[in-house]
Amino acid sequence: MKKLLMLFLALSLMFLPVLGYAEDQVRVASLKGPTTMGMSKMMQDDAAHGAYDFKVAGTADEIVPLLVKGELDIALIPCNLASVLYNKTQGAVGVAAINTLGVLYILSTNEEVQSISDLVGKTLYSTGKGTTPEYALNAVLRAKGIDPGKDLTIEYKAEATEVASALSAGQTNLAMLPQPYVTAVCAQNPEFKVVLSLTECWEEAMPDSALITGVVLMRKAFLEEQPGKAAAFMEAYRASTDYVNAHPEEVAPWIEKLGIAKAAIAEKAIPQCNIVCIEGTEMQDKISGYLTALYAQEPASVGGSLPGEDFYLTLS
């Protein structure tokens, strides 16, 4: 009996890779919000196969160390952070696609706030310090001649849920949030209205570039060693984003299961989430324009220097 047991264990170990256990999985991390919402169909489909090891993080700080140490293969993260990591890793990572365009909105019960200039002298709550929300907001403010460190007070919270809670608790009546949290706050308290779209403010202030929220980042070593798996991921991701945009009612319960938003909120928010999968030349043109605009305002926001041509990956 003992020999039979040992033989069974040996055979089991031999077939672990074939059966798709952890060492064979593609390691993927993403942030709670639209970047993960676009992947929800893919995650749902993979539950029965286990080809991917998905990690959904509350903040980018949870993802960055894993990427730097090579413990992730793919990450869906803010665009400017992708540039920072490219510089930090000496070009060991690159961008395969844009997955989210502008999703940031300013909410208030104060109807006097009608333009970016109306934020002067006020306190604005926000999330995303050191990532897209902070740098995009700062770029828009500076383009309008407003000093974000002197002309207004910006209170940054670690997660969007903290900002939403502050609004609900009456701690503030002015905040910048991404979708789907915007829809959730407005549904809970109809007094709050979207007074500004940061995307529209960006386009007005810097018409030669576009506001980009998230990208699909890959380790180049993974792409070189596992080109088939990298291509398969992108194929599944493209299909997932298309499906999410076309079937919000069906995917909403999956988004709730991921802890991003209640199904009813997710369904309403998806059309405003700007979930995309933009690749190739269009991706490069949009990202290059966005990063150039950030660099002109604050070089540190993109890691001190603009990424080279090898930052832009082509998988198809």
Per-residue pLDDT tens digits for 231-260: 999 999 999 999 999 999 999 999 999 999
> Which position has the token pair 């088939």?
228
Residue 133 pLDDT grade (very low, low, confident, very high; cuts 50, 70, 90): confident
pLDDT for 108-119, tens place per residue? 988 888 999 999
> CA separation (Å) from 164 to 31, 34, 49, 160, 261?
17, 16, 36, 6, 12
- CATH fourth-level superfamily of 2-101+212-311: Periplasmic binding protein-like II (3.40.190.10)
Pairing state between β 153-157 and 123-127: parallel
Q: Which pLDDT belongs to residue 310?
A: 96
> Which position has the token pair 């890959």?
218
> CA separation (Å) from 104 to 120, 124, 167, 201, 233?
19, 13, 16, 10, 27
Q: Which pLDDT belongs to residue 221?
A: 95
Mean local confidence (pLDDT), 216-242 = 96
pLDDT for 45-57, tens place per residue? 998 888 999 999 9
Do the two domains 2-101+212-311 and 104-205 of this chain adopt the same fold?
yes
Q: Which pLDDT belongs to residue 98?
A: 96
| The token pair that represents 227 in the structure block | 């080109």
- Residue 216 above 80 pLDDT? yes
Mean local confidence (pLDDT), 155-169 = 88
- Residue 276 above 50 pLDDT? yes
Q: Cβ distance 84 to 303 under 8 Å?
A: yes
Whether domain 104-205 has CATH 3.40.190.10 = yes
Q: Cβ distance 105 to 197 under 8 Å?
A: yes
- Residue 13 above 50 pLDDT? no
- Structural domain boundaries of the chain? 2-101+212-311, 104-205
- Residue 301 above 60 pLDDT? yes
* CA neighbor of 136 nearest in space, from 76, 77, 210, 193: 210
* CA neighbor of 50 nearest in space, from 70, 21, 79, 85: 21
Mean local confidence (pLDDT), 136-159 = 92
